[in-house]
Amino acid sequence: MKFAKIPMATIVRLSIYMRTLQELLEEDIEVISSERLAKQCGVNPAQIRKDLAYFGEFGVRGVGYRVNDLVNQIKDILGLNRPWNLAMVGLGNLGSALIRHGNFIKHGYVFTAAFDADPQKIGKRLPNGLVINHVSELEEVVREREVHVGIIATPANDAQSVANQLVLAGINGILNFAPVQIQVPDCCHVENVDFTIKLDSIAYHLSFGS
């Protein structure tokens, strides 16, 4: 499936295209041109064609792209035509909200484990039926339930230690909500979600035009 060295930015855009295409599908739009799709995604039409060209030819010249087909093809490209199991670590405000949040399920991600360090929370049942485990059981439970991706929603101070444990448990993908740069071996891929950094960008733009 993967031929050359693919820009990371391309992968991110493919996700965005997919989201937009899924919306179009709900509006019963069957075919779309790169031009119209580009407009909706806020990118250049050639960009879309280039991004897709890394992986093959998915369009029909003179016509455009069949929305339904393209969604499935992007899913293949990204490896989304299979289930991915998630573990949430840290069930404070943010972790609890995320685990309740419908978007993960909507896109085929399933929580199969949840951890916290607070003894008060251990054994409690979450709305989705999951029981909270103590973080000391992380390695065992992660292996047992075949978790693929760990989500860190702990305070900043605990993030690195949790990351270490996840790596030890054989996890190769981490989504990190803690506002620190965590260090992991090369085999593990980390994506950071830090909304205060995004706010800083906004502050900069508001302060100095753009």
Partner DNA sequence: CTAACTATGTGATATTATTCACATCTCAGC
Partner DNA sequence: GCTGAGATGTGAATAATATCACATAGTTAG
Contacts to DNA by CB under 7 A: 5, 7-10, 33-35, 43-47, 49-50, 52-53, 57-65
Q: Which is nearer to DNA, 48 or 151 (CB)?
A: 48
List helix spans (H) across 27-155. 34-41, 45-53, 67-78, 93-100, 103-106, 138-144
Sign of CA dihedral 125, 126, 130, 131: negative
Q: Which of residues 126-165 bind a second copy (CB under 8 A)?
A: 148-149
Closest among 120, 127, 90, 121 to 105, alpha carbons compared: 127
Total residue length of the chain: 210
Is residue 203 a contact residue for a second copy (CB under 8 A)?
yes
Q: Which is nearer to DNA, 9 or 199 (CB)?
A: 9
Q: Are 175 and 152 in contact (CB under 8 A)?
A: yes
Q: Which is nearer to DNA, 39 or 143 (CB)?
A: 39
Q: Are 151 and 89 in contact (CB under 8 A)?
A: yes
Closest among 71, 44, 106, 84 to 175, alpha carbons compared: 84
Structure tokens at 207: 């302060």
Q: Which is nearer to DNA, 15 or 44 (CB)?
A: 44
Closest among 98, 4, 114 to 50, alpha carbons compared: 4
Letters for 66-85 (x = contact with a second copy by CB under 8 A, - = none) are: -----------xxxx---x-
Is residue 103 a contact residue for a second copy (CB under 8 A)?
yes
In the complex, least distance from residue 165 CB atom to a second copy, rounded to whole angstroms: 18
| Among 28, 42, 119, 129, contact with a second copy (rule: CB under 8 A) | 42
Interacting residues toward a second copy by CB under 8 A: 1-2, 8, 11-12, 14-16, 18-20, 23, 40-42, 77-80, 84, 86, 93-94, 96-98, 100-101, 103-104, 106-107, 109, 148-149, 172-175, 177, 179-181, 183, 189, 191-210
